[in-house]
Amino acid sequence: MPDHGETIAIIAGGTLGLGLAIAERPVVDGCTKLATAGRRKAEGETTAMGLRQRGAEVVFVPADIGRVEDAVALLAQAADRFGRVTGASGVMFGALVDFDHNAAGAYPE
């Protein structure tokens, strides 16, 4: 299993179903900082609360990731909250995204 102790992750669509399972996995593997996004605020807040109960610091951002401005807002809020972002997964700009990225720049520290 990977060690996600230093991971600061963004999971777009991480509120229900497969997205929720994807959001839970890094937490199980030790991730303590996570941003999730989804269109349904109530479900997103409930999911964030459940992840917090598992020991993660979680920010939920209501967003429609198909909208560029919402995707940018998600990345900005995550970077503001955690100082950087090291991984993201989800659908952004109409394409599946799964990358290792530092929000301060395109290359890891």
Render pLDDT for 39-79 as a digit per residue (tens, 0 to 9).
Answer: 999 999 999 999 999 999 999 999 988 888 888 888 888 88
DSSP secondary structure, 25-52, as one string: HHHHTT--EEEEEES-HHHHHHHHHHHH
What domains lie within the chain, and their CATH numbers? 8-99 (3.40.50.720)
DSSP percent split of the chain into helix, strand, coil, nearest 5: 35, 30, 35
Kindly indicate the confidence band of residue 9, based on its pLDDT and cuts at 50, 70 and 90: confident
Structure tokens at 15: 């509120």
